[in-house]
Structures are given as C-alpha cells and as structure tokens.
Amino acid sequence: MTSRRIVLSQSAALLGAASTGLLLPEVAQAQPGKVRVGLMLPYTGTFAQLGVAIENGFRMAINEQGGKLGGREIEFFKVDDESDPSKGVENASKLVQRDKVDVIVGTVHSGVQMGIQKVARDTGVLSLIPNAGAHAATRSLCAPNVFRTSFTNSQPTRALGKAMVDKGHKRAVWITWKYAAGEEAFEGFKESYTAAGGTIIKELGLPFPNVEFQALLTEIASLKPDAVACFFAGGGAAKFIRDYAAAGLKGKIPLYGSGFLTEGVLDAAGAAADGIITTMHYSDSLDTPRNKAFRLAYAKTYRMQPDVYAMQGYDTGLLLAQGAAAVKGDLSSKVALYKALESATIDSPRGKWTMSKAHNPVQDIYLRVVENKENKVLGIAAKALADSGAGCKLG
C-alpha cells in the first residue's frame, strides 16, 4: 500500500513543480468509463436526515449539469457511516480499495471525518467534505486533495457572542454534545462572547448522541443565566428544543445556538422553536433569485424543503462539476484539478463564496431568528469570514 508520506510528498512535488513551471503542462484528456463517486454519509441514527439532504442536494447539482461530470457518466457507491467514528477508516478504505472511487463525498460527523481524512492523506483520493466541521481537516491535517464546502465548527459561533451581548445577555451557560463539533463550536463562542464582554458561567455537556437532557435543563434553571447558547444538530436538536420548552425555560431564558440547532428540525420542533436566535452561513429566507430558484427546484424534486445540509450537498456538486469540467473529466490530472477547485467561485444559494488557502469556505455568516417554521434573516453577523487555517501549510 502507498504510504502516507509518499503520497503527500508526491502531491507536494507536483504542486511545487507546477508553481515553478518545471512540470510539462498536464493535458487533460477525456477519460473512458464512468466517474466513480463514493457517498459516505449517515443514513441511520440522529444524523440520518442530514445525510439524505446532502445526497439530495449533491444529486440535484449534478443533474442540473446533465447528470455527468466533465462529460463522463457517473457511478455511485454508497456507505452508511452511522456517524460512528470507530468505523470511519474501515468505511472510507472500502470505498477506495474495493470500489476504486475517484472521489469521496462525506461526511457529517467530525469524528468520522477524521477517518476519511486519514484515508485521503494515505491514498491521495479526492475528498470533498459536505458538512463535518472538524478543525483539523483544514488546519493541522489539511491536504492538497481535501476540500470542504461547508464550514469549520467554530465559524458560525465566532459570529454569535457579540450578537448575544448586543441584546444585553452578559451571563451565559453553554451546553453541547461533548465531541469535536461541540467542543470546537464552544471555542468560537467563547472567543466571541468574552471579547464582547460576556461571561460564561457554566459549560454543560453530554456524550454524543445522548438526548437525556432533563438533569442539565434543571441545572440551567437553577443557574438563572441571562441566556443559553448551544451546539446540537439533527434529531437531537429537535428533542433539545422541545425539552427546553417543556422544562419551562422558553420565554424565560433566551436560547441561542450555532445554526444547526434549527436546521431541518422546524416541523418536528413546532412552536417550541419560535424565537430561537442562531448564526449560520445560510438562511431559508435569503431573498435572492439564486436562493429562491434553488429552493423551488429542490421542493419540486424532493417534495420537501431544503435546509443547510441540502445546500451544502448542492454546493459540493457544483464544486466537483467545476473541477471536472476544467480537466475535461480527467480527474487524474491532479495539478489542474486542485487548481480549479482552489480557485473556484461557487455561486451558491448562501451567496457567492471562495476557498481559503486551507480549502475551507470564506463566507458570510447570517444572524437568524425562527418565526413560523422558518429561519428568518436578521442581518449579516460576520462578512466574508475565513477560518484561521492554523497549522496548514498549503498555498
């Protein structure tokens, strides 16, 4: 098996040679056969709906390009990763070794993403991340063949703290699932909230994907903070919102969150979600022709409303289509392919965005409030926000 060091040094050499002009130009040639696309997403468990939305969005973008990538037909290979980090490497390896995919599109859960990241670094397979925000993927463990179309976990919360203090909430409790996504979301919240003059009086947590919130809600009631901020997503987020209201906290202690709290759950949460304020790189109600066209097409195709996950899947399809077109379907033309992905501007339903040097979106973060089962935009909380990319040596 090719060692990680060899693959990385080959990629670095390729890119280095390209930038010094020593490499003979790669001439992209139309490739025979189908492009093999691996979808590694959760289709069961608390993030099941997120995986389905990402796949739907991805397929919609590809279908809008005539169902082909760079002129080639596509064959899909699917793995249910179950949001189980212990199976991450094994599942990603199956796609690469057994199914011989050209690209892995996945996944949702940050812990599982670390398994894909290892396989991507070891084998050089193209990895497109349509959700998981694990910092390391585009920081210390970044790689030339890994591109994220979503966010880093601290990007949305970096815009949250000031918005809360501006509303007069100076003493907050933070609550989350205790795994990379929640802990890194906390990092962004802590930085923004304390910089704006707020004090975090308590951090509360429970293991993923546990949803026994009762004891923690009782503790929040006794702490009497000005507000609560949190990270939850998927089925667990819907339950947290309902339990928060059932515990009598709604209307007494305002609830804020990283926007995943209110994505894809508004039907399930009902009136309990009204008034929740969040920060996120998307909103249902963005009043742009691009967003309206996307929402209409998605609703017609899938008979349901899109959410941030559907939008991220869609953008992943747009990015891959742009890259594949630039190399005329020859995904083995890596220098040209990576260059095209790095320099892409994605005309997204969220607004136009570009890749940072570490391969993570530079994007606006919106302040939203839930009203009548919709995330309504209140304004832009952070303009063209880039992740630090700390420790990444690309570019």
Q: Choose which of 48, 54, 62, 132 interacts with ligand BEZ (CB under 6 A).
A: 132
* The binder of ligand BEZ chosen from 133, 259, 329, 349 (CB under 6 A): 133
Q: Least Å distance between CB 358 and ligand BEZ?
A: 16
- Please state the closest distance from residue 109 (CB atom) to ligand BEZ, in A: 4
Measured CA distances, 178 to 220, 231, 383 (Å): 17, 10, 29
- DSSP characters over 310-361: HHHHHHHHHHHHHHHHHTTT-TT-HHHHHHHHHT-EEEETTEEEEE-TTS-E
181 near ligand BEZ, rule: CB under 6 A: yes
232-261 positions binding ligand BEZ, by CB under 6 A: 233, 260
Q: Hey, CA dihedral for 389, 392, 393, 395, is it positive or negative?
A: negative
Gap between the Cα atoms of 158 and 170, Å rounded: 16
Helix/strand/coil for 199: strand
Query: Residue 182 CB, nearest distance to ligand BEZ (Å)?
Result: 8
Output the CA torsion 321→326→327→331 (10° steps): -30
Min dist. Cβ of residue 36 to ligand BEZ (A): 26
Q: Which residue's CB is nearer to ligand BEZ, number 15 or number 108?
A: 108
Query: By CB under 6 A, is residue 127 in contact with ligand BEZ?
Result: no
Q: Give Cα 265 to chain centroid, integer Å.
A: 17
Smallest distance from ligand BEZ to CB 6, Å:
29
Q: Report the residue number, 129 or 381, with the smaller CB distance to ligand BEZ.
A: 129
Task: Indicate the residue type of 81.
Answer: D
Give the number of other CB atoms < 10 A from CB of residue 260.
27
Is residue 153 a contact point for ligand BEZ (CB under 6 A)? yes
* 110 scored as a contact of ligand BEZ (CB under 6 A): yes
Q: Which is nearer to ligand BEZ, 92 or 321 (CB)?
A: 92
Query: Does 351 interact with ligand BEZ (rule: CB under 6 A)?
Result: no
How many whole angstroms separate alpha carbon 71 and alpha carbon 65?
Answer: 9
Assess 116 for contact with ligand BEZ (CB under 6 A).
no
Cα–Cα dist 389/143, whole Å:
12
According to the binding rule CB under 6 A, does residue 282 interact with ligand BEZ?
A: no
The least CB distance from residue 83 to ligand BEZ, in Å, is 8
Q: Which own/partner contact pairs does 145-148 have at CB distance under 8 Å and 24+ positions apart? A: 145/11, 145/120, 145/334, 145/338, 146/117, 146/120, 146/121, 146/359, 147/319, 147/341, 147/342, 147/355, 147/359, 148/359, 148/360, 148/361
Interface with ligand BEZ includes 7 (CB under 6 A)?
no
Only segment of 67-75, 126-134, 353-361, 364-372 that touches ligand BEZ (CB under 6 A): 126-134
The residue range among 93-101, 103-111, 317-325, 348-356 that interacts with ligand BEZ, by the rule CB under 6 A, is 103-111
Q: How far is the CB of 131 from ligand BEZ (least distance, A)?
A: 6
Contacts with ligand BEZ by CB under 6 A lie at 108-110, 131-134, 153, 181, 233, 260
